[in-house]
């Protein structure tokens, strides 16, 4: 049966990878017998054996450090950090080791690992179950950083990440695990099976890393988004009837600059949207690139819509989360500039 | 009646003496050579707690190898002689590279003075295909495995012969073929990676084992704890080495332990058998390393080994130890000089003499100088052939992404 949620799509990708490549090894906290707190590895241990999919002690640095050694040996570890908010103990291993191993050995040792981590807010997860730390990875040379926004991409991107010879940080917006979310928290959420990108095909297929996808063609302005914010952006432009082009970046590093530049040179206006906090967020890099590459085509300053520069709150989640109203307001401001 | 209360206070571990005072090693308990038993390799950790607090020593004061570890040591005379040669080579190499740094042919160097036995001897416990995850002070693994010294020097100089293309600090070597994993400046990180490498070997049904290396100071890093948890939990075929050279730059070894127990004893809490070894006794290191690697090869699990030694030289060429410890302290170190102790053993065994030693020293210095000449013909840090700046952009990824290609072009390459 084709996968009809992002959870199923991720599990399906892992299943395909485990089946096709005997060196693929899946591990992390609660991922073995129990099948993961989000069910992304359910049934994999039973199907592939405890030596292919196993539980680890609660030690993020241990999980990643062990994965790096295992990759240096010649296996293909696909590990899970239960929440992106808990990756910090592993940050030294990720930045100083995984990202640098190929470079510092001139290719003698390499680190083809995938680190999956559920990310993002919109679930009343508060400070330590809602963070979007992508900018802490995009700033690191040697890493690739990926964030899917739907089940078809989730499976194809994860399979590409597993095939990739370099370390990949695979950020999974947990708000999108069971269905698309456009930021309208007061409305019922529809399941993935009613969405055109909601059903991931059976078997192996790849969505290439480093390629953005245009989710909505438009001429008035360009919206750059990824993860949950793709759906928020689409809702905002539909509701305001603004003819915006919405680009889902999919891979943040390396970035598909070509698609971005072609769009902004066409529209002359750009809004960057992300859940992560504003200051030094990935949006700053996007805005800088757009102004450098599209300076003579821009009709208005590049706007950024992001989480406020505060820790992620619990009670005030919907005052914090950059929902469709804030995205729409930014789009209108950008269009007002003549 | 209300008890008399005192304000709370902290304990600050300090070394026994500081500069200006007489060296004092009275706190170091030194059991006689041969006095510690040799347990079977399949002994459970809880039945060999004594090994974590004693000291495995084979060489006595007369240069004789004694006791149960010596009796079972299968090491022929040729191997004992090449052991001495490896240590002498490492010492001569260090001396030349220290000089090269003072001559500004390189930016930085780190010596092994006093610790030569550990890495040179440990090499004998591993087989081809096994992997060390060393720190910056185990170059004896490369020397003993026959790695070309001129290539080591090219790395120190960062010249065009440097296999890692001038990207790493001097002494941060890397050689997959010689079982020497890339050294990182971030302390402790490789300890847990060694565990992962060995897990990879076991998961692949391979027969290769890994050896992890860490210094006394870096055992305080979280990576040390994580490595022990994983190694113990999955019964990983890894040898977990701790080189206790008494000093972590300026801080004495007791600081990392809070002044309590031994470093070997840390293994016991994780259910890992632990040995404490005279690190200046070449034969003791071989014996303990082989015991531990046999445990690993037989899937009996990891072993923690603490080598007790002394860092005779400064931490690096950027360090002056007279600022924090008595200048004569190394001369008073009770476990002596590893090189002299093996030399005495070979003389006592009738294999060596003072004359031959002097002759060997001259030969080895000749070899080191020839290697240095070869390396310097390629270049040093500031002269000769260096890796092309275009190479700065290679190997960040397997394939160069567009943004790096642009930056390379912008840089003019």
- Strands A76-80, A114-119: pairing is parallel
Question: Which residues 217-246 on chain A approach chain B with CB closer than 8 angstroms?
Answer: none
Contact B174 A56 (CB under 8 A): no
Q: Do residues B183 and B150 lie in contact, with contact meaning Cβ atoms separated by under 8 Å?
A: no
Domains for chain A: give ranges and CATH numbers: 6-194 (3.40.50.970), 213-335 (3.40.50.920)
- Classify B275 as helix, strand or coil: strand
Q: State which residue of chain A sits closest to B405, comparing Cα positions.
A: A254
Q: At A95, list the tokens.
A: 């930045």
Please give the pLDDT value at position A1. Answer: 81
- Classify B181 as helix, strand or coil: coil
The terminus-to-terminus CA distance of chain B in angstroms comes to 83
Q: From CA A284, how far away is CA A237, in angstroms rounded?
A: 22
Please give the pLDDT value at position A338. Answer: 85
Q: What are phi and psi of B36, to 5 degrees?
A: -90, 140
C-beta neighbour count of A23 within 10 angstroms: 18
Q: Do residues A37 and A82 lie in contact, with contact meaning Cβ atoms separated by under 8 Å?
A: yes
The pTM score is: 0.97
Minimal CA separation from B194 to chain A, in Å: 6
Q: State which residue of chain B sits closest to A289, comparing Cα positions.
A: B403
State pLDDT tens for residues B93-124: 999 999 999 999 999 999 999 999 999 999 99
Q: State which residue of chain A sits closest to B186, comparing Cα positions.
A: A96
State pLDDT tens for residues A73-122: 999 999 999 999 999 999 999 999 999 999 999 999 999 999 999 999 99
Q: To probe the interface with B, which of A75, A86, A91, A105 has the most B CB atoms within 10 Å?
A: A105
Any B CB within 8 A of A18 CB: no
Contact A62 B395 (CB under 8 A): no
Chain B residues in contact with A102 (beta carbon < 8 A): 395-398
Contact B176 A109 (CB under 8 A): yes
Any A CB within 8 A of B390 CB: no
Contact B182 A57 (CB under 8 A): no
Task: Looking at B332-401, list the stretches that DSSP marks H as alpha helix, in order from N- to C-terminal side.
Answer: 338-348, 354-378
Please give the pLDDT value at position A255. Answer: 98
Task: Looking at B237-383, list the stretches that DSSP marks H as alpha helix, in order from N- to C-terminal side.
Answer: 254-257, 265-268, 282-297, 338-348, 354-378
Contact A67 B196 (CB under 8 A): yes
State the helix-helix crossing angle for B149-157 and B77-102, rounded to 10 degrees.
Answer: 20
Q: What is the mean pLDDT of chain B?
A: 96
Chain A residues in contact with B235 (beta carbon < 8 A): none
Nearest to B174 among A59, A105, A254 (CB): A105
Any A CB within 8 A of B151 CB: no
- HSE toward the beta carbon, residue B178, CA cutoff 13 A: 21
The terminus-to-terminus CA distance of chain A in angstroms comes to 52
Judged against a pLDDT cut of 80, whether residue A150 lies above it is answered with: yes
* Of the candidates A48, A40, A46, the residue with the CA atom closest to the CA atom of residue A116: A40
Mean pLDDT score, B343-368: 98
Q: At B67, list the tokens.
A: 């006791």
pLDDT category of residue B258 using cuts at 50, 70 and 90? confident
Please give the pLDDT value at position B78. Answer: 98
Please give the pLDDT value at position B4. Answer: 77
DSSP-assigned states of every residue in A141-168: TT-EEE--SSHHHHHHHHHHHHH-SS-E
Nearest to B195 among A66, A107, A142 (CB): A66
Any B CB within 8 A of A5 CB: no
Contact B222 A89 (CB under 8 A): yes
- Higher pLDDT among residues B30 and B77, named by residue: B77
Mean pLDDT score, B360-378: 98
Contact B195 A57 (CB under 8 A): no
Contact B203 A102 (CB under 8 A): no
Mean pLDDT score, B240-267: 93
Which residues have C-beta within 8 Å of that of residue B237, sequence separation ≥ 6? B198, B201, B202, B209, B210, B296, B297, B299, B301, B302
Contact A69 B189 (CB under 8 A): no
Contact A61 B192 (CB under 8 A): yes
Please give the pLDDT value at position B259. Answer: 78
Q: From CA B243, how far away is CA B217, in angstroms rounded?
A: 9
The CA–CA distances, whole Å, from B377 to B149, B150, B383 equal: 14, 10, 10
Q: To probe the interface with B, which of A24, A25, A65, A93 has the most B CB atoms within 10 Å?
A: A65
Instruction: Say which residue the tokens 């695990």 belong to.
Output: A177
Helix (H) or strand (E) holding B409: helix B402-411
Question: Which residues 232-261 on chain B approach chain A with CB closer than 8 angstroms?
Answer: 233
Judged against a pLDDT cut of 80, whether residue A30 lies above it is answered with: yes
Q: From CA A177, how far away is CA B91, in angstroms rounded?
A: 60
Any B CB within 8 A of A107 CB: yes
Q: Do residues A215 and A264 lie in contact, with contact meaning Cβ atoms separated by under 8 Å?
A: no
State pLDDT tens for residues B278-288: 999 999 999 99
Q: From CA A270, how far away is CA A282, in angstroms rounded?
A: 15
Domains for chain B: give ranges and CATH numbers: 45-313+332-382 (3.40.50.970), 388-413 (no CATH)
Q: For residues A64, A70, A76 and A81, what is the CA-based torsion angle, rounded to 10 degrees?
A: -20
Minimal CA separation from B204 to chain A, in Å: 8
Contact B189 A109 (CB under 8 A): no
Mean pLDDT score, A20-30: 98
Chain A residues in contact with B402 (beta carbon < 8 A): 254, 257-258
Minimal CA separation from B326 to chain A, in Å: 35
Mean pLDDT score, B159-174: 98
Q: From CA B195, how far away is CA B209, in angstroms rounded?
A: 9
Minimum mean pLDDT among A115-124, B254-263, B322-331: which range? Answer: B254-263
Chain A residues in contact with B133 (beta carbon < 8 A): 69
Question: Which residues 321-340 on chain B approach chain A with CB closer than 8 angstroms?
Answer: none
Contact B193 A108 (CB under 8 A): no
- Classify A239 as helix, strand or coil: helix
Helix (H) or strand (E) holding B229: helix B222-233
Mean pLDDT score, A176-182: 97
List the catalytic residues of A: 129
Chain A residues in contact with B395 (beta carbon < 8 A): 102-103, 105-107
Please give the pLDDT value at position B1. Answer: 64
In percent, the amount of chain B with pLDDT more than 70 equals: 100
Any B CB within 8 A of A319 CB: no
Judged against a pLDDT cut of 80, whether residue A316 lies above it is answered with: yes
Instruction: Say which residue the tokens 């190479």 belong to.
Output: B391
pLDDT category of residue B3 using cuts at 50, 70 and 90? confident
State pLDDT tens for residues A184-211: 999 998 999 999 999 999 999 999 999 9
Which residues have C-beta within 8 Å of that of residue A215, sequence separation ≥ 6? A230, A234, A246, A247, A248
State pLDDT tens for residues A249-294: 999 999 999 999 999 999 999 999 999 999 999 999 999 999 999 9
- Strands A144-146, B379-380: pairing is unpaired
- Classify A286 as helix, strand or coil: helix
């Amino acid at each position: 049966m084709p996968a009809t949620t992002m959870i199923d799509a991720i599990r399906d990708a892992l299943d395909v990878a485990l089946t096709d490549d005997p060196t693929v090894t899946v591990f992390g906290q609660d991922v073995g017998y129990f099948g993961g707190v989000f069910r992304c590895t359910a049934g994999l241990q039973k199907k592939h054996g405890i030596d292919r999919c196993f539980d680890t002690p609660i030690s993020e640095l241990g999980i990643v450090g062990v994965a790096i050694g295992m990759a240096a040996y010649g296996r293909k570890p696909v590990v899970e950090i239960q929440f992106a908010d808990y990756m910090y103990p592993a940050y030294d291993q990720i930045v100083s080791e995984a990202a640098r191993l190929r470079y510092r050995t001139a290719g003698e040792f390499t680190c083809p690992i995938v680190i999956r981590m559920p990310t993002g807010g919109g679930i009343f997860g508060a400070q330590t179950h809602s963070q979007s730390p992508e900018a802490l990875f995009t700033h690191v040379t040697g890493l690739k950083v990926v964030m899917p926004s739907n089940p078809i991409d989730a499976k194809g991107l994860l399979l590409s990440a597993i095939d990739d010879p370099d370390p990949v940080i695979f950020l999974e917006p947990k708000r999108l695990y069971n269905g698309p979310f456009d930021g309208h928290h007061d409305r019922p959420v529809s399941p993935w099976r009613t969405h055109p990108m909601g059903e991931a095909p059976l078997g192996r297929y790849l969505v290439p890393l480093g390629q953005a996808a245009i989710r909505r063609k438009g001429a008035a302005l360009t919206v750059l988004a990824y993860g949950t914010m793709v759906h928020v952006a689409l809702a905002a432009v539909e509701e305001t009837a603004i003819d915006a082009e919405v680009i889902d970046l999919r891979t943040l590093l390396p970035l598909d600059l070509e698609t971005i530049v072609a769009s902004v040179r066409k529209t002359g206006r750009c809004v960057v949207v992300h859940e992560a906090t504003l200051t030094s967020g990935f949006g700053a890099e996007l805005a800088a690139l757009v102004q450098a590459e599209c300076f003579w085509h821009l009709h208005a300053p590049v706007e950024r819509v992001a989480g406020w520069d505060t820790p992620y709150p619990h009670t005030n989640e919907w005052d914090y989360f950059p929902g469709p109203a804030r995205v729409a307001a930014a789009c209108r401001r950008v269009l007002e500039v003549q | 009646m209300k008890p008399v209360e005192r304000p709370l206070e902290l304990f600050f571990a300090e070394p026994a003496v500081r500069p200006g005072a007489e060296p004092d090693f009275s706190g170091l308990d030194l059991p006689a050579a041969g006095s510690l038993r040799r347990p079977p390799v399949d002994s459970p950790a809880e039945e060999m707690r004594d090994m974590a607090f004693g000291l495995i020593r084979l060489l006595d004061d007369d240069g004789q190898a004694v006791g149960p570890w010596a009796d079972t040591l299968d090491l022929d005379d040729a191997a004992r002689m090449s052991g001495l040669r490896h240590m002498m080579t490492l010492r001569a190499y260090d001396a030349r590279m220290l000089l090269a740094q003072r001559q500004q042919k390189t930016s930085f160097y780190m010596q092994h003075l006093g610790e030569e036995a550990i890495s040179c001897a440990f090499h004998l416990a591993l087989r081809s295909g096994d992997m060390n995850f060393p720190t910056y002070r185990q170059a004896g693994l490369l020397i003993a495995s026959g790695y070309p010294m001129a290539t080591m020097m090219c790395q120190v100089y960062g010249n065009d012969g440097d296999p890692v293309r001038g990207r790493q600090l001097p002494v941060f070597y890397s050689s997959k073929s010689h079982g020497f994993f890339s050294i990182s400046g971030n302390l402790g990180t490789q300890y847990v990676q060694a565990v992962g490498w060995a897990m990879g070997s076991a998961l692949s049904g391979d027969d290769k084992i890994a050896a992890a290396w860490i210094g006394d100071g870096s055992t305080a890093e979280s990576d040390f704890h994580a490595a022990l948890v994983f190694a113990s939990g999955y019964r990983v075929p890894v040898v977990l080495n701790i080189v206790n050279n008494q000093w972590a730059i300026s801080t004495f070894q007791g600081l990392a332990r809070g002044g309590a127990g031994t470093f070997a004893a840390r293994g016991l809490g994780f259910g890992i058998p632990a040995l404490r070894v005279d690190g200046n006794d070449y034969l003791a290191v071989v014996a303990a390393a082989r015991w531990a690697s046999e445990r690993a090869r037989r899937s009996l699990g990891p072993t923690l080994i603490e080598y007790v030694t002394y860092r005779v030289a400064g931490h690096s060429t950027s360090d002056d130890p007279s600022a924090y410890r008595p200048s004569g302290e190394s001369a008073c170190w009770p476990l002596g000089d590893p090189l002299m102790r093996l030399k005495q053993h070979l003389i006592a065994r009738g294999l060596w003499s003072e004359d031959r030693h002097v002759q060997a020293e001259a030969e080895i210095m000749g070899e080191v100088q020839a290697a240095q000449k070869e390396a310097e013909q390629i270049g040093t840090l500031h002269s000769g052939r260096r890796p092309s700046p275009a190479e700065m952009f290679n190997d960040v990824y397997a394939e160069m992404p567009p943004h790096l290609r642009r930056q390379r072009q912008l840089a003019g390459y």
